[in-house]
Structure 1
């Protein structure tokens, strides 16, 4: 049975460490990671900072290249970039043991990950690899996944899936009697946060279901 694990690593042990160290107020949230023959392409949201400053600082960041701004919303902006270094453990997880990043959030102090591993052995391999590379690894939560169907197969994070399912169960999409504030209150978040979470969820669902072949650049 697959495992769901949450863990943290220091900022300097993963991608965009230079940018996170230079801009203390910034938050980076991974949307989707795509594995290619040459490495990993990361789609991520940036919030809490000036976008021009972020782009200027990230040009000096050795861990990414080919940064591109994709979509802008009220409080977060979607970017795409290729990882170049400081992501060895994650590349190993993707390419060698088939782990999946469900969520990844970076701040000035650390990166926090939610990942799915197919078996306990795969998790052990990942931990051993981190130890071999001298990467500080702090596991905060681990449990078996008992639900056979999750939103991650459609590119959804756990929070996005929870928001969409909760809104659906409350008939938010079918009646005017249920407001965004009602659903946000049920989830314990602000209406603004829920709105952004739903928008990101819509985008992931469309990209991974309706749009079979993404448009070329």
Structure 2
């Protein structure tokens, strides 16, 4: 049976480790990793110059070109816009870590459906023809020490219901915030205390919550108004 596998890989094993070190709020989503051409990568961070300088200094990637800016304006914690874009599109050439990863997936009859990252790790969704291919691929990941952590395995029939407007990191953050009473009135935990619980900076948490709220609101107000299932 066709199988979808969701997994996480440390950035140190695939790429962007240096960028994550320099920019704590850095997030990315790869536009497509099928084929041999250099992929388009959407990036998020404090400002374009900071992101571009971090990418230029990162030995795991090569910046081919900066393609375009996003249209979204970041907001402060109280919701006020800062007047700067916070999404930038680059065409990047990845290093040997990503190339070998793609080769392993391809040679085990798999395909990379999505790839994104935050907080020093990649989150990927892979598609395989059967469970045997999954096992073979996972053994190769272990052989080459990719430090893969599988977070979910599901059949193709579950793929549509697995879609969510939130990234896995955003979903985990919202769950923890709700669990600790951040959304209660009065609040059961402050933003600073929640950031400490999640072991991230105050700024990183503020921006992550803002993006999570924006994604949920956009999904609710879109034509697809039915509730969407969330990845565990």
- Structure 2: tracts of 5 or more residues without a match: 73-86, 166-214, 223-232
Which of 45, 48, 55 in structure 2 is aligned with 1:48? 45
- Is 1:119 the equivalent of 2:130? yes
- Is 1:191 the equivalent of 2:202? no
Which of 126, 142, 147 in structure 1 is aligned with 2:153? 142
Query: Contact conserved, 1:103 with 1:158, CA < 8 A, in 2?
Result: no
Query: Contact conserved, 2:42 with 2:90, CA < 8 A, in 1?
Result: yes
CA 1:95–1:4 in structure 2 vs 1: closer, same or farther (change >3 Å)? closer
Count of residue pairs brought into register by the alignment? 159
**In 2, distance between residues paired with 1:193 and 1:29?**
22
Query: Contact conserved, 1:6 with 1:140, CA < 8 A, in 2?
Result: yes
Query: Contact conserved, 1:24 with 1:108, CA < 8 A, in 2?
Result: yes
Which protein has the bigger strand share?
Answer: 1
Pairwise mapping of residues 1-217 of structure 1 onto structure 2 (< 5 A)? 1-36=1-36, 41-75=38-72, 76-146=87-157, 158=163, 189-191=216-218
Query: Contact conserved, 2:16 with 2:58, CA < 8 A, in 1?
Result: yes
SS at match of 2:97: coil
Shift of 1:91: 2.0
Q: What TM-score comes out, normalization by structure 2 length? A: 0.60
Query: Contact conserved, 2:23 with 2:45, CA < 8 A, in 1?
Result: no
Shift of 1:42: 2.0
**In 1, distance between residues paired with 2:109 and 2:91?**
22
SS at match of 1:61: coil
**In 2, distance between residues paired with 1:95 and 1:7?**
16
Shift of 1:137: 1.3
CA 1:194–1:133 in structure 2 vs 1: closer, same or farther (change >3 Å)? farther
**In 1, distance between residues paired with 2:58 and 2:131?**
34
Shift of 1:192: 8.6
CA 1:136–1:92 in structure 2 vs 1: closer, same or farther (change >3 Å)? same
Shift of 1:88: 4.5
Query: In angstroms, what is the RMSD of aligned CA positions?
Result: 2.9
CA 1:129–1:89 in structure 2 vs 1: closer, same or farther (change >3 Å)? farther
Query: Contact conserved, 2:105 with 2:137, CA < 8 A, in 1?
Result: no
SS at match of 2:66: strand
Shift of 1:71: 2.4
